[in-house]
Amino acid sequence: MDESVRDLWQSLGLPGLIDVHTHFMPKNVMDKVWKYFDSAGPLTGRTWPITYRTEEQHRLELLRGFGVLAFTSLVYPHKPDMAAWLNQWAAQFATQTPDCLSTATFFPEPGAPTYVADAIAGGAQVFKAHVQVGAYHPADPLLDDVWGTIDDAGVPVIIHCGSGPTPGVHTGPSQVRTVLDRHPGLKLIIAHLGMPEYSEFLDLCEEFDGVHLDTTMAFTPFIEETMPFPPAELPRLAELGDRILFGSDFPNIPYRYAESLNVLTKVAADDDWLRKVLYHNAARVFDLEDQLTEATNRG
């Protein structure tokens, strides 16, 4: 176990970390995802070794050992007739794993409004949308009722819509802006700081009160090689400290977990910014403060 992770959040006076961007999936799905990374497929565009390729229980133990108090099981479909059963799996996983936020997903298909409403009724705390992998327009008419239902319920959506690591058919800020123009109250968490369109997604964050950004993989040497964050935008990132949430992409990262955190200490405006990003912002967005306080007291 890398003690530097615990040393960091303890030095900030935090009770632990909240990681909003982690992946737990049915084994057959995760195996296919890892195989895709192994093949350096066109959506990754480069060699991508999986650092935490271990069985599920060990991965849970690793996160908890790092001091992660809450995390997600971000599932996502790449074709129709897949999202509903992924939602069933994720709901069951959350029931068995109390520190995992109950996660759901969707795809542009006729049944989407129904299974999204069912997921919300069942207690879904976060949705995942992957525009790059799903190769769909986020403003597809088949999703209009989905966005409306999620907006009304106030459930956050973590959306991979930036054009990194490689562009998708419908990635980019303009497509997401169309959704936000229709549903300006949506709580959207833009994955990976929107890389590589960092500036444009910062614009959206400033324009729409419900838009947040997660730090997943940003600033790491692996990403800076090809999609560096523009230094001139660091002051804006500091000013938006209430809208930035920590994410790691665990277990599908080609480096140690600690690196996801160490790079943030180098760009942080100050320790208060780090406290917000690593814990307080996510606790607020997902309404976890009371739940985590009780869990910490029990522990």
Q: What is the pLDDT of residue 41?
A: 78
Q: Is a pLDDT exceeding 70 seen at residue 3? A: yes
Average pLDDT of the segment spanning 121-135:
97
Q: Is a pLDDT exceeding 80 seen at residue 118? A: yes
Assigned fold of 3-298: TIM Barrel (3.20.20)
Task: Name the band, by pLDDT with cuts 50, 70 and 90, for residue 298.
Answer: low
Q: Output the DSSP codes for the chain.
A: --HHHHHHHHHTT-S-EE-S-B----HHHHHHHHHHHHTT-TTT-S----TT---HHHHHHHHHHHTEEEEE-----SSTT-HHHHHHHHHHHHHH-TTEEPEEE--SSTTHHHHHHHHHHTT--EEEEEHHHHT--TT-GGGHHHHHHHHHHT--EEEE-S--SS--TT-SHHHHHHHHHH-TT--EEEGGGGTT-HHHHHHHHHH-TTEEEE-TTTTSHHHHTTSPPPGGGHHHHHHTGGGEE----BTS-SS-HHHHHHHHHHH-SSHHHHHIIIIIHHHHHTT-HHHHHHHHHH-
Q: Is a pLDDT exceeding 90 seen at residue 157? A: yes
- pTM for this structure? 0.96
Residue 10, token pair as written in the block: 């303890």
Asked whether the beta carbons of 91 and 122 are under 8 A apart, the reply is yes
Asked whether the beta carbons of 187 and 156 are under 8 A apart, the reply is yes
User: What distance in Å separates the CA atoms of residue 10 and residue 7, rounded to the nearest whole number?
Assistant: 5
Q: Is a pLDDT exceeding 90 seen at residue 293? A: no
Residue of 162, 151, 170 whose CA lies nearest to 210: 151
Q: 3-class secondary structure for 54-119? A: CCHHHHHHHHHHHCEEEEECCCCCCCCCCHHHHHHHHHHHHHHCCCEECEEECCCCCCHHHHHHHH
Query: For 11-50, what is each residue's pLDDT tens digit?
Result: 999 999 999 999 999 999 999 999 999 988 787 878 899 9
Delimit the domains of the chain by residue range. Answer: 3-298
